[in-house]
Chain A
Amino acid sequence: MAGQAAAQATASPFVDIADVALTYGGAAAKGGGTLALEHCTLGVGKGEFVAVVGPSGCGKSTLLKLVSGLHPPSAGRVAVDGEAVTRPLKIVGMAFQNPIMLPWRTTLANVLLPLEIVEPHRSRFRRERAAYAERARRLLATVNLAGFEERFPWQLSGGMQQRASLCRALIHEPELLLLDEPFAALDAFTREELWDVLQALWLERRFTCVLVTHDLREAVYLADRVVVISNRPGRVVMEQAVGLPRPRRLANAWDRDFVDLVHVLRDKISEVRQAA
């Protein structure tokens, strides 16, 4: 399965990052600004789950901004689904370390927010509110939040808020899900619980997913392929396929082949950090 996705990636990657550079705060030519990424090339196949790991400050989050079209590259080309990304994409769902739910809306209304904004749902929203609410309820139920729809986000635990945040990222059925360390602020048990929630959602819907994380076990547990980024300026220094069968189980997360993969990644990152 992972092999198939990789084959697709070589043919015509769904997300195609080609020799991209990004400088924050002014052009590099003028000597100012921070070079976040340089000569960065990465392809993600349709329906593939890719995890991006690397030392902190290496430009992992920047990569997501490029893919989503929130930030244009300083050099190189970013394309999604065959088209160059020149403005924010609308087929994208995003979730961050901070769930940033709106405290004046109930959990259900928070999950519905994207539908009030993105077309074609936007123009239908008023008429079909009941149907959309039902859809949001079903999605909340799949992440075990049934019964919490009318609660306010601040009445939920951190893990529950993050689950609701995932629902908000997925409610408009995006083809591409971008996750920026979504579980980093959670305790270890909740985090592992949410790995399974995310895996189940992905197995059911098969969206393309790019997960930025600094948790190597999380990367191996969830991804088809793990990409290691170097120290700033970031560039891809290693791509490691994860051939473990799915659905993966927490019980297997201490098996030999799983742990070996984590060690390979860990060694590479240590090497990259030394180089700095």
Chain B
Amino acid sequence: MGTFWRFLRSPAFAPWLITAGLLLVWEAYCRLLDVSPFVLPAPTTIAHSMVRFWPAIWINAEQTLFTTVAGFALAVGFGLALGVAIGASPWLYQALYPLLIGFNAIPKVALVPVLIVWVGIGTIPAIITAFSISFFPIVVNVATGVATVEPELRDVLRSLGARQRDILVKVAIPRSLPYFFASLKIAITLAFVGSVISETVAANRGIGYLMVKDAGENVPRMFAALILVAVLAVVMYGVAALVERRFTHWATRGVDQAGGTTGF
């Protein structure tokens, strides 16, 4: 009983506790005030709809998952390369930063009509939108990691005859990895936003498409699709966090111990 009680109060269980509580309040609100399922369906109604329409939802979710991961993968490759380049060269940094910030400020919804003109509708614009919304945090984070190598360490290496490439490979890139992995967690959730945005306007398949289609007629299924996107994003975030822990355990040193002492 003691260990079970301790588990219930532990930080590991906290997200489940809070999520369950939220669903409970939601359910109670819908039932007590008799809210119409066309305005806000109760969690049980959504769950029921999720099971009932699972094949249709999953076909669309698969599409969204695919475009998101593809756009995200492109963002990782492009973001890494550009981030290292910008971080290593102050000239490039100065030259490209205003452009990057400007591009990032453009609402990606506004980009979709342009993409329709250029590449039509469907998978490609969704991938491009996911890519264009998620590469920015990767670029900025990697550039920061690369650019902030300790000057003394740079001196040590240069006094050994190190070339710029040596400093990049031996120090700058490894030390930017924690920044990189931190940005992946942001980028993967943004990629979902990008692909769903594109699908609402320019697709015949995908969660975004399904939601627009269901908006007037099948609201519980719309919510089911919405929640599935959220769940997928949390899962992908978890994968990114796992990869981060695996590769940069040295950067989160002390966090584990700290968690151990503050947890009861």
Q: What is A's interface to B at a CB cutoff of 8 Å?
A: 65, 68-70, 88-90, 92, 94, 96, 98, 100, 102-104, 113-114, 116-119, 152, 154, 168-169, 172
Known: A118-B161, A154-B250. A68 touches B150 (CB 8 A): no
Asked whether B159 lies within 8 Å of A102 as measured between CB atoms, the reply is no
In the complex, residue of chain B having the shortest beta-carbon distance to the beta carbon of A180: B152
A94-B170 in contact given A100-B150, A100-B153, A152-B250 (Cβ < 8 Å): no
B174 within 8 A of partner (CB): yes
Q: How far is the CB of A187 from chain B (nearest CB, A)?
A: 21
Q: Which of B162, B170, B248, B253 contacts A154 (CB 8 A)?
A: B253
Contacts of B177 in A (CB 8 A): 104
Interface residues of chain B, those whose CB is within 8 Å of chain A, are: 150, 152-153, 155-162, 166, 170-171, 174-175, 177, 248, 250-251, 253-254
Do A90 and B159 touch across chains, with their CB atoms under 8 A apart? yes
User: By the criterion CB–CB under 8 Å, are B166 and A70 in contact?
Assistant: no
Closest partner residue, chain B, to A68 (CB atom): B159
Which residues from chain A contact B175 at a C-beta distance below 8 Å? 102, 104
**Complexed CA–CA distance, A22 and B161 (Å):** 23
Q: Give the complex CA separation of A67 and B70 in angstroms.
A: 52
CB distance from B163 to the nearest CB of A (A): 9
B156 contacts A116, CB within 8 Å?
no
Would A88 and B153 count as touching, CB distance under 8 A? no
Q: Given A117-B160, A172-B160, do A94 and B155 touch, yes or no (CB 8 Å)?
A: yes
Interchain nearest-CB distance for B257 vs A (Å): 11
Contacts of A90 in B (CB 8 A): 159-161
Across-interface contacts of B166 in A (CB, < 8 A)? 117
How far, in whole Å, are A103 and B252 apart by their CA atoms in the complex?
Answer: 11
A116 x B152 contact (CB < 8 A): no
Known: A102-B174, A104-B174. A69 touches B159 (CB 8 A): yes
A193 to B250, CA, bound (A): 29
Chain A residues lying within 8 Å of B156, measured Cβ to Cβ, are 94, 96, 100, 114, 168-169
Extra A-B contacts (7), CB below 8 Å, given A88-B161, A94-B155, A104-B250: A65-B155, A100-B150, A102-B170, A104-B177, A104-B248, A113-B170, A114-B156
Contact B158 A88 (CB under 8 A): yes
Q: A70–B170 contact, CB under 8 A?
A: no
Residues in chain B near residue A169, CB distance under 8 A: 156
Q: How far is the CA of A60 from the CA of B144 in the complex (A)?
A: 30
A174 CB, min distance to chain B CBs, angstroms = 9
Query: Which chain B residues lie closer than 8 Å to A119 at the CB level?
Result: 161
Q: In angstroms, how far is the closest chain A Cβ from the Cβ of B244?
A: 13
* List of A residues within 8 angstroms of B174 by Cβ: 102, 104
* Given contact pairs A117-B166, A154-B253, A70 touches B158 in the complex (Cβ within 8 A): yes
| Bound: A118/B170 CA distance, A | 13
Q: Which residue of B lies closest to A67 (CB)?
A: B159
Q: How far is the CB of B181 from chain A (nearest CB, A)?
A: 13
Question: Can you report 7 residue pairs joining A to B where beta carbons are below 8 Å apart?
Answer: A65-B155, A70-B159, A90-B159, A96-B156, A104-B251, A117-B170, A154-B254
Complex contact B251–A103 (CB within 8 A)? yes
Q: Which of B150, B159, B170, B248 has the most CB of A within 10 A?
A: B159
- Given A96-B152, A102-B175, also A88-B159 (CB < 8 A): yes
Complex Cα distance A90/B157, Å? 10
Known contacts A98-B150, A100-B150, A102-B175, A89 near B159 by CB under 8 Å? yes
Q: What residue of chain A has the Cβ atom nearest to residue B153's Cβ?
A: A100
Specify the chain A residue showing the minimal Cβ separation from B169.
A116
| Closest residue on chain B to residue A176 by CB atoms | B159
| Contact indicator B150/A118 (Cβ below 8 Å) | no
Closest residue on chain B to residue A64 by CB atoms: B155
Complex alpha-carbon distance, A177 and B171, angstroms = 22
- Give the Cβ gap from A255 to chain B, nearest Cβ, in Å: 36
CA distance A40 to B166 in the complex (A): 34
For the complex, what is the distance from the CA of A96 to the CA of B250, rounded to whole Å? 22
